[in-house]
Structure 1
Amino acid sequence: MKKLLILGALIFSGFTFAQAVKPVLEQEGNLVKATYYYNNGQIQQQGYFKDGKLEGKWVAYDQQGNKASMGEYTNGQKTGKWFFWNDKALSEVDYSNSRIASVKAWKQDALVNRN
């Protein structure tokens, strides 16, 4: 019963992340791996849930398959360093207690391959 409740919560919370395609959920030990897709079949984002909360590494991609963001959750809260890519810059955001502690940014000409 507990697993059904967790799965229901994951599906419900998935609606906030997914565009139109249902997520693929896979049990991996005590974690549930969630993969969300764009309508074009590319992965939109991928990460884990534990007890219905975001947990561990999450990676988001743009519709062409390039990394758009990457970071970690602990017990549903953003923690540590997160990276955000766009066409013009890379931003490094350091989170503490799910709040932004610091931000660094680099212009496109200083970026390395993000794949």
Structure 2
Amino acid sequence: MKKILILGAFLISGFGFAQSTKPFLEQEGDLVKATYYYENGKVQQQGYFKDGKITGQWVAYDENGNKKSVGEYANGEKTGKWLFWNDKVLSEVDYSNSRIATVKTWTQQAIVNK
């Protein structure tokens, strides 16, 4: 329980993306699942922490429940391919050592024409 309280304090103070809402935290084995909500009650983003570091898959949603991004963290760093949706654009960003290595972008028009 102490770990959850410390992690909760860390999340609230360390991440601006949560803004005015507090995360809902659930212990799942050695991981803590964090779920942030919009004021309308829909999920804003969801992912895991281990030993106070972001880990595993994180998914962010817009206020209508549509996915905005999906990606992986390892030991607090972004890793691998992340997908970002923005209106009619899909971007694939490849991270290496938490830094952007490559970016590919597709528009809805390009996807429809394939």
> For residues 89 and 45 of structure 2, what CA distance do their matches in structure 1 show?
20
TM-score by length of 1: 0.87
Deviation at 1:93, TM superposition (A): 0.2
Q: Alpha-carbon deviations, 1:27-70, whole Å to 9, x = none? A: 00111000000111110000001111110000000010000000
Paired position in structure 1 for 2:51: 51
Q: Alpha-carbon deviations, 1:57-100, whole Å to 9, x = none? A: 00000010000000000000000000000112000000000000
Deviation at 1:10, TM superposition (A): 3.4
Deviation at 1:6, TM superposition (A): 3.6
CA RMSD of aligned residues (A): 1.7
Question: What is the 5 A alignment of 1:72-91?
Answer: 72-91=72-91
Percent of residue pairs bearing the same amino acid type: 71
The runs of at least 4 consecutive aligned structure 1 residues that moved more than 4 Å come to none
For 1:42, the aligned partner's letter is: K
Q: Per the alignment, do residues 5 and 23 of structure 1 end up closer, same or farther by CA in structure 2, a change over 3 Å counting?
A: closer
What is the total number of aligned residue pairs between the two structures? 110
Paired position in structure 2 for 1:62: 62
Structure 1 gap ranges (5+): none
Paired position in structure 2 for 1:40: 40
